[in-house]
């Protein structure tokens, strides 16, 4: 299974489209956030304000990066479905090993994305704001990225299973199904960044849970419920962690249940 994980990870790291949307596109907006959006006034702001501003960009960009990587996970699940019975029959891999291998590869890929984004965020914002702004807990940033990899893999697998177990009208909606996690990331991520989306969304949405935990890992302290208005209420981080754990377990259960109803679909059915 180690070779299978290495193959999956290598495929993600060398696939240009995946790297563009999950890394380079996000780094472009990080550069905009560091050098264009803050203006001169933020340079003279207190250190805690600069650190919070940097953490908000790291949190939002990480969420978008992870959800962009999830697009390739959904496509992989959909288009590889027809090959699964043959892989199980003619190799030593079982369906369980395939699932575990995919989860490990997805988590490792998102951890690499988080490391690169954290380094780029630190360098760009420290240079722009003329202050040393490192993440307070880089190990925690990587740990949350690994957790996000598990959640997003299970979530995309659940959506793909729904499509593969349904009739052709849904099965042919491949693009919408694959981009659903990415669209939701923009809605929930920008929602909390600039507006008051409410207590329930902040604490019970898995997207906001991931974003808030990344923010906490970067600043090492409290997380505002609205990033653009840091003086307001703060997030209950313990509840956010419990919520994300519950969502992960729920997605695992739903994915396992829907996997039993999957009908393996030929590629021709997905593209016609």
Contacts of 265 (CB under 8 A, 6+ apart): 78, 81, 82, 164, 171
Report the range of poorest mean pLDDT among 10-19, 93-102, 205-214: 93-102
Task: Report the alpha-carbon distance of residue 63 to residue 212 in Å, rounded.
Answer: 10
Residues 132, 50 contacting (CB under 8 angstroms): no
Residue 118 pLDDT: 97
CA distances from 189 to 79, 124, 256 (A): 29, 21, 28
Residues 208, 236 contacting (CB under 8 angstroms): no
Cα dihedral sign, 116-118-123-127 = positive
Which pTM does this prediction carry?
0.90
Higher-confidence residue of 87 and 8: namely 8
pLDDT band at 92 (very low <50, low <70, confident <90, very high): confident
pLDDT digits (tens, 9 = 90+) for 126-183: 999 999 999 999 999 999 999 999 999 999 988 888 877 765 555 556 677 788 899 9
Residue 249 pLDDT: 97
Cα dihedral sign, 91-10-218-54 = negative
Domain boundaries, the chain: 2-271
Residues 79, 123 contacting (CB under 8 angstroms): no
């Amino acid at each position: 299974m180690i070779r299978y994980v290495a193959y999956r990870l290598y495929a993600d790291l060398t696939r240009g489209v995946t790297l563009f949307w999950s890394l380079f596109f996000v780094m472009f907006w990080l550069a905009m956030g560091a050098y264009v959006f803050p203006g001169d006034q933020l340079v003279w702001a207190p250190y805690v304000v600069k650190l919070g501003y940097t953490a908000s960009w790291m949190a939002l960009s990480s969420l978008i990066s992870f959800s962009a990587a999830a697009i390739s996970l959904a496509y992989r699940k959909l288009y590889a479905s027809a090959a699964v019975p043959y892989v199980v029959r003619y190799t030593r891999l079982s369906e369980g090993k395939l699932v575990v291998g995919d989860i490990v590869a997805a988590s490792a890929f998102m951890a690499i994305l988080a490391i690169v984004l954290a380094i780029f965020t630190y360098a760009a914002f420290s240079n722009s704001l003329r202050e040393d702004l490192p993440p307070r807990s880089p190990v925690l940033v990587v740990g949350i990225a690994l957790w996000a990899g598990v959640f997003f893999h299970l979530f995309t697998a659940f959506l793909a299973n729904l499509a593969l177990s349904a009739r052709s009208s849904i099965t042919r909606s491949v693009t919408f199904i694959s981009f659903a996690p990415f669209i939701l990331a923009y809605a929930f991520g920008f929602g909390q960044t600039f507006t008051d989306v409410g207590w329930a969304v902040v604490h019970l949405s898995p997207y906001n849970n991931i974003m808030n935990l990344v923010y906490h890992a970067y600043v090492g302290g409290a997380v505002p419920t609205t990033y653009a208005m840091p003086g307001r209420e703060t997030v209950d981080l313990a509840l956010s962690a419990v919520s994300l754990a519950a969502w992960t377990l729920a997605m695992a259960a739903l994915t396992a249940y829907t996997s039993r109803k999957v009908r393996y679909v030929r590629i021709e059915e997905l593209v016609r």
